[in-house]
Amino acid sequence: MPILERLRADHADALLAFEQANRVYFARSIPDRGDAYFAEFAVRHQALLAEQDAGVCHFHVILNEEGELIGRINLVDVAQGSAELGYRIGESAAGRGLATAAVRQMCRLAGTTYGLVALAAKTTLDNRASRTVLDRNGFTTTGTLTLDGRPGVRYRRAGLGELGTPGEPGD
């Protein structure tokens, strides 16, 4: 079971190492962050913490049971009871259901801790793994878009924090 921790200043080094180690892997299925992201990481990390303190975003790292940073999951553009969900799992942890479990946890957290009633998400059409994670967590398709020149899909999920989240035993 993955562990979600709210982003803190002391996550900076591990988060940068994670992003650098997985840059090529991520670029295969999602838009690349670009060189400036890495060159200005320390400043960007501080800006994320400020956004989080202001309540407009909720950033989290995903840790494995040994405490290793294996991913991140974020709620951005929090407004009027909803936010946009974003997540990424590193290549070494992919394919083990960790993204599905982390999104399930985040849906509960969004509803119970952050008081949200709905989440939106988007992914490229060819990112089958991400689409599966969203489907397994009760997100429904709401439309299409273009992401970094690639066809994509929009999703939405309401009913956050409810018991019996899709994909759990007893469904």
Q: Structural domain boundaries of the chain?
A: 3-158
- Cα 19 off chain centre by: 13
Tokens at 7, concatenated: 């982003």
pLDDT band at 171 (very low <50, low <70, confident <90, very high): very low
Q: Spell out a b/e string for 113-144, using b for 16 or more CB atoms within 10 Å of the CB, else e.
A: ebebeebbbbbbeebeebbebbebbbbeeeee
Which tens digits make up the pLDDT trace of 32-66? Answer: 889 999 999 999 999 999 999 999 999 999 999 99
CATH T-level assignment (fold) for domain 3-158:
Aminopeptidase (3.40.630)
Q: What is the pTM of this model?
A: 0.90
